[in-house]
Amino acid sequence: MRVDRRDFLKSLGIVGGALVVGCNTSAPEEKLHAYLSAPKAVVPGVAATYATVCRACPAGCGLWVKTREGKPIKLEGNPDHPLNQGKLCARGQAFVQSLYSPRRVQTPMVRVAGELRPASWNQALERAAEILGETRCAVVSGLEQGGYARLLQDAAAHLGGPHLCFEPLAPRPLAAACRLLFDRDEVPVFSLAQADQVLSLGADFLDTWLSPLQHAREWAEGHQAEQRALFVTYLGPRRHLTANMADDFHPLAADQCGPVLAALLRAVVARQKPTLTAALQEALTQILDKAPAPPRGLSDARLEQITDRLLSARAPLVMWGGPEVYGRDATTVATMVLLLNHLLGAFDKTVFLGRGHAWSKAAAHATVYSALHQAAHEPQQAVLLLGTDPLFSLPGGAALGAALQKAGRCIALAWEHNHSTAVAEVVLPAHHPLESWGDYEVERGLVGLLQPVRVPLYDSRHPGDILLDLTTRLGHPRRLPSSKDYVIEAWQHRCNDLAPNAWEDALSAGLCHVPAPTSTIVPLKPNRLHLLPPLYAASGQGVDLLVAATTLLYDGRGAGAEWLMETPDSLTQCAWEIPAELSQDLALTLNVSDGDVVTLTSPHAEVQGRVLVARGACPNTLALRLGGEHPALPEEVLAPNPMRLIGPVFDPLSGALVWVQGRIGMARSAKSTLASVMGSPHSEGRNLCLSMSASDFAKGRFPRMDMHGEVLPDAAGNYPDKRYAQMPVEEIALEGQRPANNMTPLTEHPEQRWGMVVDLDRCIGCAACVTACYAENNIPVVGRAEVLRGRELSWMRIEQHITADVRQGQVRFLPIMCQQCGQAPCETVCPVFAAYHTPDGLNAQVYNRCVGTRYCSNNCPYKVRRFNWFDYPRPEPGNQQLNPDVTVRPRGVMEKCTFCVHRIREARNRAAFEGRPLRDGEIQPACVQTCPTGALRFGNFKDLDAEATQWSQNPRGYRVLDYLLNTRPGVVYLRKVYADSQEGQG
């Protein structure tokens, strides 16, 4: 109780503080522009939403920042942004946590006698200027494109060094290949929008590759069961989410992408010889002759299949990329990919050049590495790190770090402490992107605008302004007074809009979009192909080490956000765990099982990691996820940083890092347990996560659950048991009456019966919904120890099911949140009515009334209720993110999902206030709102025209365990429709 009250007082304090601050700062001399209808000034209790850009990864999706009392509390996708169209991934959801990170740099710091000591801005800047004065300094920032980037370039020019955009996952080989083939140093834009056949070689396009949200959205559109236009084939060393969702999936060694492409090319060439120019043919032969053939681990029949699919495709698309496959021969392979796409006529259908994709600006790893190396070893060289942490993301970071610290010519502008700030001579606190002006041009003509959405938490400054300050101190006149002016200048230049308050409108919209010039087919210049090195085949002893980027941790920066660590990875079902994924054959030979600790040795380092046996991984591979050894991680998370295991080896042609460096040694060292949230993935013949074959779907033979389990209709389309469970709509028709399988009349819902439809066919397991739920509902983060005890508090979970019909190590995902049962077993057992059924069909949980008997949780068949075992700490400044609309639950009460009831109530009040009925789609729970593939739909089942209601009547629909328990859930699941082509394989 006490703590409850304290929290309440705190939140009061926050509000009050906000008001005080709010007056003088959150409407500063430069006005912030709220989105359309939002109030101009901060009104307590009313959320103001601002548009900006997500900088959690280089994709540059549009953001809406929901602020209360001048504090950002929740990030949503910007519906008007063409890239993400209102959706947001888990990383985007968690981006707000980096604003409130406990590791924020709070004051300028200067190294004195080897120790970083707080200093005044002036001292720090003086020291920095001093360093810069006597050196040539490279400016290393994250990926930037636009006005701010221009500022950085100018500054770099003044400082006498280059401006490098460092992105660990930069697809340099593709850019290099483009240069070779088309004489353009750019990364083409890949789009699944029109594609009908997609072959992905390693590329995890649904969740980490280039522009995941966009790809995911396009995939969902093309792949939806009702009108399926898209077929995805995946070949690659790792079963990541994309592989898991692929219609046809086959594990393939990293170094076999080249040979496979070669084989495909050969096949294509064989078909198209007549149409090809002599030069091209000549070039092709040059490449293909260097290619070893045939590929290992892929049967000719399978290859045949794939080739046919590609050749018969209307708009094929071949994608390749990702750290798992970037090898010594990356450029060669990339070239082959582009060639194949070219020959398949994919250009301008699914592959676009000349869009000026931001990724093109990403610097080569080699360049960045050498910049750092010089700063470390050459007295005239310095480096200025701007927000990025190359020491964490580059091989040999540790050595570089030590040298840099010794050299003392490293200046770090950062908002969070990281490996680089640790070695810097001067550390200057920079604004968090949510605190700063800026812009980000995803591709030519699509400019996203950043605006500060809160008063800076600490004594930080805009990095751009800091640079301007420094250059001024060095005696270079400012071209423009501040970084904001650079942004405006760039905006004017790009979207020269002369309307009176165009700028304000642009800010409100968060972007300006000038349709990009549609590229014409760029002539292919085959004359330089002979420069390409031959394909490289891995050799030697040991295990293939695959460095992996994952949904939640991306290039490792995700590990900085608690939510992303607490959210279990859908594939590993582990929280607070970055396991070493071991292929099954290796697990057998090493005799290790999940949780065992193994020692990994490479020429460069020896590290330890917890094993997770990865079903469906390519034999003899060990995948290590980026994110290990992130400074934010607590001790007990035994996670190695894969970059330590590989050396600074770069592809000479593209300057890209060679990620696949071959073999490492491995030894079993100790027993331990994985912090898994999953009991058993095997469904044990329990019909929980259901699916059906595409052929059944085509024939309209929809299975239905009845008392005897899953039954198919007979020829006449009838089902044997009359007593099958009703679906929501039939049920609503029966309200007030007693259906055949009920002993009592059904409860009546006067106006609404809120419900959700979950399309298992669309769910890719990206866990954005789970993270969104954490963000929206003030769900405490419990940490690894508690997860091990089975005490995680997530209201929603993405379950992993291995059902009878899955193959090749794929798994099915089943998002489970409170089912809002019409006849909830949990309600009736509660002695105090803390759990009850609201008139609008929700399964309400009254926290104040809850005594904590935990009977409801016992009796909940879906096990979606969560108990507060302790009072969970919410340290400053993280508590500023708490959503004031949602109670912070005290120790000893049960909590659970209620379809974001506060949003429902708010919308209902608004509607009542405006004297109108609720509109369909007006209310969106956090999970539904953010789901990138639109797998979740929410609405009022009593409104037959509502989108959700329509979907709930889909014949694929079923309600989990309803046939057995008569719970009449408010959540309808639509079966996954799996491709028949998988039948009989694996």
- The Cα 590–Cα 611 span in angstroms is 11
We find the least distance from the C-beta atom of residue 176 to another protein, in angstroms, to be 45
Interface with another protein in residues 701-720 (CB under 8 A) = 707-708, 720
Residue 445 binds another protein, judged by CB under 8 A: no
Q: Which is nearer to another protein, 656 or 824 (CB)?
A: 824
- The Cα 923–Cα 900 span in angstroms is 9
- The Cα 845–Cα 839 span in angstroms is 14
Residue 17 binds another protein, judged by CB under 8 A: no
Residue from 113, 718, 744, 875 in contact with another protein (CB under 8 A)? 744
Distance of CA 791 to the CA centre of its chain: 25
We find the least distance from the C-beta atom of residue 962 to another protein, in angstroms, to be 9
Residue 1 binds another protein, judged by CB under 8 A: yes
| Phi, psi torsion values for 811, nearest 5 degrees | -130, 160
Burial of 742 (0-12, 13-18, 19+ CB in 10 A): middle
- The Cα 478–Cα 468 span in angstroms is 7
We find the least distance from the C-beta atom of residue 852 to another protein, in angstroms, to be 2
Residue from 406, 493, 738, 910 in contact with another protein (CB under 8 A)? 738
Interface with another protein in residues 111-140 (CB under 8 A) = none
Torsion of CA 670, 676, 679, 685, to 10 degrees: -100
Residue 890 binds another protein, judged by CB under 8 A: yes
Residue whose token pair is 């000038």: 514
Residue 230 binds another protein, judged by CB under 8 A: no
Contact string (CB under 8 A) for another protein, positions 498-527, x = contact:
------------------------------
Residue from 207, 324, 786, 885 in contact with another protein (CB under 8 A)? 786
Q: Indicate the DSSP class of residue 931.
A: -
Residue from 831, 875, 915, 984 in contact with another protein (CB under 8 A)? 831
We find the least distance from the C-beta atom of residue 381 to another protein, in angstroms, to be 54
We find the least distance from the C-beta atom of residue 726 to another protein, in angstroms, to be 11
- The Cα 785–Cα 717 span in angstroms is 52
DSSP codes of every residue in 329-389: THHHHHHHHHHHHHHTT-BTTTEE-SS--GGGGBPPHHHHHHHHHHHHH-TTEEEEEES--
We find the least distance from the C-beta atom of residue 863 to another protein, in angstroms, to be 4
We find the least distance from the C-beta atom of residue 249 to another protein, in angstroms, to be 22
623: β partners: 546, 581
Residue from 115, 684, 914, 945 in contact with another protein (CB under 8 A)? 684
Interface with another protein in residues 615-674 (CB under 8 A) = none
CB 309 within 8 A of CB 231: yes
Residue 743 binds another protein, judged by CB under 8 A: yes
Longest CA–CA separation in the chain, Å: 87
* Residues contacting another protein: total by CB under 8 A: 82
Looking at residue 613, its amino acid is V
Which residues of 166-230 form beta strands (DSSP E)?
189-190, 197-201
We find the least distance from the C-beta atom of residue 721 to another protein, in angstroms, to be 9
We find the least distance from the C-beta atom of residue 566 to another protein, in angstroms, to be 14
Interface with another protein in residues 554-593 (CB under 8 A) = 573
Residue from 82, 445, 647, 681 in contact with another protein (CB under 8 A)? 681
759: β partners: 974
We find the least distance from the C-beta atom of residue 918 to another protein, in angstroms, to be 21
Looking at residue 440, its amino acid is Y
We find the least distance from the C-beta atom of residue 831 to another protein, in angstroms, to be 4
Residue from 833, 919, 921, 985 in contact with another protein (CB under 8 A)? 833
Residue from 968, 970, 977, 978 in contact with another protein (CB under 8 A)? 968
Span near another protein by CB under 8 A; candidates 75-83, 405-413, 620-628, 824-832: 824-832
Residue whose token pair is 């819902």: 749
Interface with another protein in residues 944-963 (CB under 8 A) = 961, 963
Q: Tell whether the torsion through CA atoms of 609, 610, 616 and 620 is positive or negative.
A: positive
We find the least distance from the C-beta atom of residue 551 to another protein, in angstroms, to be 19
Residue from 965, 979, 980, 981 in contact with another protein (CB under 8 A)? 965
Q: Which is nearer to another protein, 733 or 832 (CB)?
A: 832
In terms of phi and psi (left: phi > 0; alpha: psi -120 to 50; beta: otherwise), the region of 2 is alpha
- The Cα 818–Cα 857 span in angstroms is 11
Q: Which is nearer to another protein, 91 or 968 (CB)?
A: 968
We find the least distance from the C-beta atom of residue 819 to another protein, in angstroms, to be 12
Residue from 117, 493, 686, 905 in contact with another protein (CB under 8 A)? 686
Contact string (CB under 8 A) for another protein, positions 848-887, x = contact:
-xxxxxxx-xxx-xxx--xxxxxx----------------
Q: Which is nearer to another protein, 472 or 741 (CB)?
A: 741
CB 972 within 8 A of CB 950: no
- The Cα 7–Cα 939 span in angstroms is 33
- The Cα 177–Cα 175 span in angstroms is 5
Interface with another protein in residues 789-808 (CB under 8 A) = 789-792, 797, 799-801
Span near another protein by CB under 8 A; candidates 49-57, 176-184, 465-473, 736-744: 736-744
We find the least distance from the C-beta atom of residue 572 to another protein, in angstroms, to be 13
Q: Which is nearer to another protein, 405 or 843 (CB)?
A: 843
Residue 734 binds another protein, judged by CB under 8 A: no
Q: What is each CA distance from 552 to 142, 241, 417, 444, 800, in whole angstroms?
A: 19, 11, 20, 28, 16
Q: What is each CA distance from 500 to 364, 505, 689, in whole angstroms?
A: 42, 10, 56
Looking at residue 224, its amino acid is Q
We find the least distance from the C-beta atom of residue 558 to another protein, in angstroms, to be 24
Residue 827 binds another protein, judged by CB under 8 A: yes
Residue 21 binds another protein, judged by CB under 8 A: no
We find the least distance from the C-beta atom of residue 859 to another protein, in angstroms, to be 4
CB 862 within 8 A of CB 825: no
Residue 683 binds another protein, judged by CB under 8 A: yes
Token couple for 809: 């190590």
Q: Which is nearer to another protein, 482 or 853 (CB)?
A: 853
Three-state DSSP at 479 gives: coil
Residue 741 binds another protein, judged by CB under 8 A: yes
Looking at residue 397, its amino acid is G
Residue 723 binds another protein, judged by CB under 8 A: yes
We find the least distance from the C-beta atom of residue 685 to another protein, in angstroms, to be 6
Nearest to 430 by CA among 3, 142, 89: 142
Residue 392 binds another protein, judged by CB under 8 A: no
We find the least distance from the C-beta atom of residue 719 to another protein, in angstroms, to be 13
Exposed e or buried b per residue across 403-415, where buried means at least 16 C-beta atoms within 10 angstroms of its C-beta: bbbebbbbbbbbb
Span near another protein by CB under 8 A; candidates 234-242, 295-303, 334-342, 786-794: 786-794
Residue 891 binds another protein, judged by CB under 8 A: yes
Q: Are strands 426-429 and 189-190 parallel, antiparallel or unpaired?
A: unpaired
Residue from 20, 715, 716, 740 in contact with another protein (CB under 8 A)? 740
- The Cα 729–Cα 953 span in angstroms is 7
Q: Which is nearer to another protein, 665 or 745 (CB)?
A: 745
Q: What is each CA distance from 575 to 351, 518, 570, in whole angstroms?
A: 37, 44, 10
CB 231 within 8 A of CB 980: no
Burial of 599 (0-12, 13-18, 19+ CB in 10 A): middle
Residue 8 binds another protein, judged by CB under 8 A: no
